[in-house]
Amino acid sequence: LRFLDAGESHGKGLVAIIEGFPSNVEIDINRVNLQLARRQRGYGRGERMKIEYDQVEILSGIRGGKTTGSPISMLIYNKDYKNWMDIMDIQKEYTGKITVPRPGHADLNGILKYNLNDIRNVIERASARETAIRTAIGAICMELLNKFDVKIVSRVLRIGKVEDLSRVDMSAEENIKRIEESQIRCFDAKIEKRMIEEIELAKEKGETLGGEVEVIAYNIPCGLGSYSSYDRRMDYIISGAIMSIQAVKAMEFGEGIMASCSYGSEVNDEIIVENDYYKRSTNYAGGIEGGITNGMPVVIKVYMKPIPTTRKGIKTVKLNGEEAISRYERSDTCAVPSLGVVCENILAFEITKEFLNKFGGDSIEDIRNSYDFYLKRISRR
């Protein structure tokens, strides 16, 4: 399973081709669009989200509500394109070039690397707008994972310095409902209020805020990924994908950070048998041991830096070498609530990829057979 995606933030749209997706998987486009809508929500988003109403248009690979096994190609139109037609024209050169690089973005590294004279070319592709199409790709994968009872959920743990310390059973529907109803996608309503105040304060100051989200994938069978080679390790695969999300600067599997300052015996997950399957009595490892999923939920925490574009100017240097203050480009004050949704769907793609590596099969029926056979083999019954 692989995909390619393309598209500029203010171009006509975002496109992707998914190749290697099995046949006969029922796809509900409304559910895919729901993921796109979830990604757009969240307190702290900027003006752009009032313009867009992201919906995916399927161009190939799905017929009569089911995948055909052929490449799935799809498109999300940028509604904002109509306001950028002159700037984004593919033939006529736009004269209002951007020559002041914003610190913290791809701006400077990008123009130096590609020998460009307009930072706009870098901004357009480096933008986190690209997470819209990656969310759609993951949402298609989720349709397959749903058939195997996989559930991927997330919540916001922290905005700036305001933290939600509640312990939440994320496998419980009612808890997820509460998180989904929150504008921040956090559990504790009192903390949500403080988080909103924090975002408002940052906005007043011309600042931005980062934060932390937790993402959990339930019902992941033991055996995805491998210890056999570095690039087949599940933690290598997941961390690469998660760290590629714009503005993400760190991530953690399970209780990795706490474990690094504990004794070995304090953070080992004891092996037990429960309902005929091997389980662990705790999940400090976050569902991965030796680069292989162990049948426990895959638990990650993801840390996002504040979006570097701030109204408050930052020192920089123009392309002609003159000292300058960074220019403001429309942006979000805080995109952490969206980050959880993006992570869920990016995780869905990586899990699907390894799921298909493990259970093979060109059609869902073949995959089902292989999956059922395997689960029977590893059961203790």
125 is in an annotated binding site: yes
User: In the numeric block, which tokens belong to residue 371?
Assistant: 């999956």
The residues that bridge with 58 in the sheet, in sequence order, are: 74
Q: Which of 29, 107, 21 is nearest to 329 (CA)?
A: 107
In the complex with ligand EPS, the residue whose CB is nearer, 54 or 269, is 54
Q: Which of 351, 277, 365, 349 is nearest to 2 (CA)?
A: 349
308 is in an annotated binding site: yes
311 is in an annotated binding site: no
71 is in an annotated binding site: no
In the complex with ligand EPS, the residue whose CB is nearer, 129 or 185, is 129
290 is in an annotated binding site: yes
20 is in an annotated binding site: no
**Nearest distance from C-beta of residue 125 to ligand EPS, angstroms:** 10
In the complex with ligand EPS, the residue whose CB is nearer, 40 or 370, is 40
**Nearest distance from C-beta of residue 193 to ligand EPS, angstroms:** 24
Distance, CA of 185 to CA of 269 (rounded, Å): 30
In the complex with ligand EPS, the residue whose CB is nearer, 177 or 330, is 330
Binding site for ligand EPS (CB under 6 A): 9, 46, 48, 80, 127-129, 131-132, 246, 307, 309, 330-332
In the complex with ligand EPS, the residue whose CB is nearer, 40 or 219, is 40
Distance, CA of 235 to CA of 217 (rounded, Å): 13
Distance, CA of 307 to CA of 350 (rounded, Å): 25
**Nearest distance from C-beta of residue 158 to ligand EPS, angstroms:** 19
Distance, CA of 174 to CA of 373 (rounded, Å): 33
**Nearest distance from C-beta of residue 187 to ligand EPS, angstroms:** 24
265 is in an annotated binding site: no
**Nearest distance from C-beta of residue 79 to ligand EPS, angstroms:** 11
Residue 216 · residue 170 · CB < 8 Å: yes
Between strands 211-218 and 271-274, the pairing is unpaired
Residue 255 · residue 286 · CB < 8 Å: yes
In the complex with ligand EPS, the residue whose CB is nearer, 128 or 242, is 128
- Residue located via tokens 């919540």: 155
Distance, CA of 127 to CA of 107 (rounded, Å): 10
Distance, CA of 208 to CA of 202 (rounded, Å): 6
**Nearest distance from C-beta of residue 124 to ligand EPS, angstroms:** 9
Binding residues for NADP(+): 39, 45
Binding residues: 39, 45, 125-127, 246-247, 290, 305-309, 330
Binding residues for FMN: 125-127, 246-247, 290, 305-309, 330
